[in-house]
Amino acid sequence: MKVGIVGAGAVGRAVADLAPEYGHSVVALADSGSAAIDPDGLDPETVLARKEGGDPLGAADPNDALDASYDVLVEATPTTLGDAEPGFSHVEQALARDRHAVLANKGPVAERYGDLREFEANSRGQVRFEATVAGAIPVLSVIDDLGTGNVTAVRGILNGTANFVLSRMAAEGLAYEHVLAEAQDLGVAEADPAFDVQGTDAALKCVILANVLAGGDRDGDDGNGGNDTDSDTDDGAIDNDADADGSSLREPYTLADATVEGIEGIPPSALELAGEDGRTIRLIGEVSRGRVRVGPRLVPEHGPLAVGGTQNTLQLETRHAGRLNLSGRGAGGPETATAVLADVGRLTR
Amino acid sequence: MKVGIVGAGAVGRAVADLAPEYGHSVVALADSGSAAIDPDGLDPETVLARKEGGDPLGAADPNDALDASYDVLVEATPTTLGDAEPGFSHVEQALARDRHAVLANKGPVAERYGDLREFEANSRGQVRFEATVAGAIPVLSVIDDLGTGNVTAVRGILNGTANFVLSRMAAEGLAYEHVLAEAQDLGVAEADPAFDVQGTDAALKCVILANVLAGGDRDGDDGNGGNDTDSDTDDGAIDNDADADGSSLREPYTLADATVEGIEGIPPSALELAGEDGRTIRLIGEVSRGRVRVGPRLVPEHGPLAVGGTQNTLQLETRHAGRLNLSGRGAGGPETATAVLADVGRLTR
The CATH H-level (homologous superfamily) assignment of domain B139-330 is: Dihydrodipicolinate Reductase; domain 2 (3.30.360.10)
Is some CB atom of chain B closer than 8 A to the CB atom of A254? no
> In this predicted structure, what is the pLDDT of residue A218?
43
Measured between beta carbons, the chain A residues lying within 8 angstroms of B302 are: 302
- Written as one letter, the residue type at A303 is G
Q: Say which residue, B144 or A227, is predicted with more confidence.
A: B144
Task: Determine the distance in angstroms separating the CA of B329 from the nearest CA of chain A, rounded to an integer.
Answer: 7
Closest residue of A to B137, CA-based? Answer: A324
Mean pLDDT for the stretch of residues B321-334: 96
Please answer yes or no on whether A334 and B346 come within 8 Å at the CB atom. no
Is some CB atom of chain A closer than 8 A to the CB atom of B171? no
Quick one: CATH architecture of A2-135+334-348? 3-Layer(aba) Sandwich (3.40)
The CA-based diameter of chain A, rounded to the nearest angstrom, is 62
Residues of chain B with CATH 3.30.360.10: 139-330
Measured between beta carbons, the chain A residues lying within 8 angstroms of B141 are: 141-142, 145
DSSP type of residue B54: T
Range with the poorest average pLDDT among B18-22, B39-43, B144-148? B144-148
Q: Which contiguous run of DSSP H or E holds residue B100?
A: strand B100-103
Judge whether residue B217 has pLDDT over 60.
no
Q: Are B267 and B202 in contact (CB under 8 A)?
A: no
The helix/strand/coil state of B22 is helix
Q: Cα(A137)–Cα(A273) distance, rounded to whole angstroms?
A: 32
Alpha-carbon dihedral sign for residues A178, A179, A184, A185:
positive
Q: Most A CBs within 10 Å: which of B1, B15, B21, as the mutation test of the A interface?
A: B21
Active site amino acids of B: 205
Judge whether residue B238 has pLDDT over 80.
no
Query: Using CB atoms and an 8 Å cut-off, which of residues 188-217 of chain A contact chain B?
Result: none
The helix/strand/coil state of B77 is coil
Task: Determine the distance in angstroms separating the CA of B18 from the nearest CA of chain A, rounded to an integer.
Answer: 9
> In this predicted structure, what is the pLDDT of residue B348?
72
Residues 6+ apart with CB under 8 A from A89: none
> In this predicted structure, what is the pLDDT of residue B215?
81
Judge whether residue B218 has pLDDT over 60.
no
Mean pLDDT of chain B: 90
Range with the poorest average pLDDT among A249-258, B32-41, B323-332? A249-258
Task: Determine the distance in angstroms separating the CA of A157 from the nearest CA of chain B, rounded to an integer.
Answer: 14
Active site amino acids of A: 205
Judge whether residue B335 has pLDDT over 70.
yes
Interface pTM (ipTM) of the complex? 0.88
Judge whether residue B232 has pLDDT over 80.
no
A135, A141, A238: residue with CB nearest B141 = A141
Give the number of other Cβ atoms within 10 Å of residue A80's Cβ: 16
Range with the poorest average pLDDT among A326-335, B117-126, B230-239? B230-239
Measured between beta carbons, the chain B residues lying within 8 angstroms of A327 are: 304, 324-325
Judge whether residue B223 has pLDDT over 60.
no
Question: Dihedral, CA atoms, B174, B177, B181, B184, nearest 10 degrees?
Answer: 110
> In this predicted structure, what is the pLDDT of residue A290?
85
Is some CB atom of chain B closer than 8 A to the CB atom of A18? yes
DSSP-H helix ranges across chain B: 10-18, 44-52, 87-96, 106-111, 113-121, 139-146, 160-172, 176-186, 194-197, 200-213, 228-235, 268-276, 333-347
| Separation in Å, CA A209 to CA A139, A163, A253, A290, A292 | 9, 19, 9, 11, 9
Please answer yes or no on whether B338 and A320 come within 8 Å at the CB atom. yes
The helix/strand/coil state of A204 is helix
- Written as one letter, the residue type at A114 is G
Is some CB atom of chain B closer than 8 A to the CB atom of A250? no
Among A5, A51, A12, CA closest to A29: A5
pLDDT tens-place values along chain A, 349 residues long:
999 999 999 999 999 999 999 999 999 999 999 999 999 999 999 999 999 999 999 999 999 999 999 999 999 999 999 999 999 999 999 999 999 999 999 999 999 999 999 999 999 999 999 999 999 999 999 999 888 889 999 999 999 999 999 999 999 999 999 999 999 999 999 999 999 999 999 999 999 999 999 984 444 333 333 333 333 333 445 554 444 444 444 589 999 999 999 999 899 999 999 999 999 999 999 999 889 999 999 999 999 999 999 999 999 999 999 999 999 999 999 999 999 999 999 997 5
Residues of chain A with CATH 3.40.50.720: 2-135+334-348
